[in-house]
Chains A and B, each alone.
Chain A
């Protein structure tokens, strides 16, 4: 507390770490999408192509949340 500059930079790192908590949900979401996709492909291998496309789409949307968290964390650390 005696060194305000160090305190602020420490808090920045802490904030970036907390911001990355957003990745938890995205991880669960991507895992669910992959699990559902693989099960569907196992049941119906003929439809693998279209299932894969939609699975990747869903994963991309789920992953977007983690990427927002990452962008926030990066901006906290490296900007300003």
Chain B
């Protein structure tokens, strides 16, 4: 029928991708044992990187947060330069940034109304920080490039030297040489260990990779810091909007004195409100931490079971969840803060 016969296309990219998948499958199943996936060591607390300021140890999640900060600042500078340039129609990256900012502004304005202008900077900062931290976490090598250390659980793998650049010796850990009999498999981890052989530091025997970087939100300190900031700011905005009357929500003495029995009930409810504020901190902190940590755990465990194809789908899933969690944190913070500025009903009516 149609005169124009669809030209058969031989795209290049699909073959490259297919070849990479094949290479991955080969490495994971038939390749030399140093390329095979190894069982990751999971630690709830962030690991020390060995860097320290005074006696203050810098953990790998702090470094990752700093990286996210740097990226955010670069983004901000880029956008600032774009705005200075006077062009009105953004393109490429700036277009995306404008879409994000507009989306956030619409959400905040829809929730907070006339207070949106004052609330927006805080919650938008939180959103961007969590968003960038969750995205940057998914870059390959983020948790797998690091120092090799003695495995804390006693199960580990023998180190194998790959090559040497100057005084920097690069090791990987060999899945084929499990120390202390681990039976399973996991992600191939290449390790860049800055061993100080000159200092005579003993090489580990059963080794484990401790990444230089680890997703910021897999550290409870990060999520709880944000949660505490959000909840404290809720109180601050409430006081800003309603004055000292804001605290009558928590300790309604007036109602207790003049309200009779119902005043007593209101007083007890007020105490429950105080508990609720602390519960907000817990739920904020654990929600973000739980989602991101479980995601990272899922990725590494699926990496052991099915080394090819499936982790790619889960990566997509993690990409989605990173955005959703940032949005949820942002939305809840917006709702709580704007709720505090409105104040509770009853005070004006009675």
The interface of chain A, by Cβ under 8 A from chain B, is: 49-50, 53, 56-57, 60, 63-64, 67-68, 70-71, 74-75, 78-79
Number of cross-chain contacts by CB at 8 Å: 45
Is A67 a contact partner of B287 (Cβ separation < 8 A)? yes
Instruction: State which residues 308-335 of B face A: CB under 8 Å.
Output: 324, 327-328, 331-332, 335
| Candidates B287, B291, B328; contact of A56 at CB < 8 Å | B328
What's the Cα separation between A44 and B76 when bound, in Å? 38
Is B293 a contact partner of A53 (Cβ separation < 8 A)? no
Chain B minimum-CB-distance residue to A75: B44
Is A64 a contact partner of B44 (Cβ separation < 8 A)? no
The minimal Cβ–Cβ distance linking A26 to chain B, given in whole angstroms, is 11
Is A53 a contact partner of B294 (Cβ separation < 8 A)? no
Which chain B residues lie closer than 8 Å to A57 at the CB level? 328, 331-332, 335
Chain A minimum-CB-distance residue to B285: A71
What's the Cα separation between A68 and B44 when bound, in Å? 15
Is B44 a contact partner of A79 (Cβ separation < 8 A)? yes
What's the Cα separation between A68 and B279 when bound, in Å? 12
Is A67 a contact partner of B335 (Cβ separation < 8 A)? no
The minimal Cβ–Cβ distance linking B346 to chain A, given in whole angstroms, is 24
| Candidates A60, A67, A68, A70; contact of B331 at CB < 8 Å | A60
What's the Cα separation between A78 and B293 when bound, in Å? 12
Number of B residues near A (Cβ < 8 Å) is 21
Beta-carbon contacts of B65-78 to A below 8 Å, as 1s and 0s?
00000000000000
What's the Cα separation between A29 and B42 when bound, in Å? 30
Is A67 a contact partner of B286 (Cβ separation < 8 A)? yes
Can you identify 13 A-B contacts, CB atoms within 8 angstroms?
Answer: A49-B106, A49-B110, A53-B111, A56-B328, A56-B331, A64-B287, A67-B283, A67-B286, A67-B290, A70-B290, A71-B290, A74-B293, A74-B294
Known: A64-B287, A71-B286. A53 touches B107 (CB 8 A): yes
Is B335 a contact partner of A70 (Cβ separation < 8 A)? no
What's the Cα separation between A50 and B110 when bound, in Å? 8
The minimal Cβ–Cβ distance linking A52 to chain B, given in whole angstroms, is 10
What's the Cα separation between A28 and B313 when bound, in Å? 25
Is A78 a contact partner of B331 (Cβ separation < 8 A)? no
Chain A minimum-CB-distance residue to B327: A56
Is B44 a contact partner of A60 (Cβ separation < 8 A)? no
What's the Cα separation between A57 and B283 when bound, in Å? 13
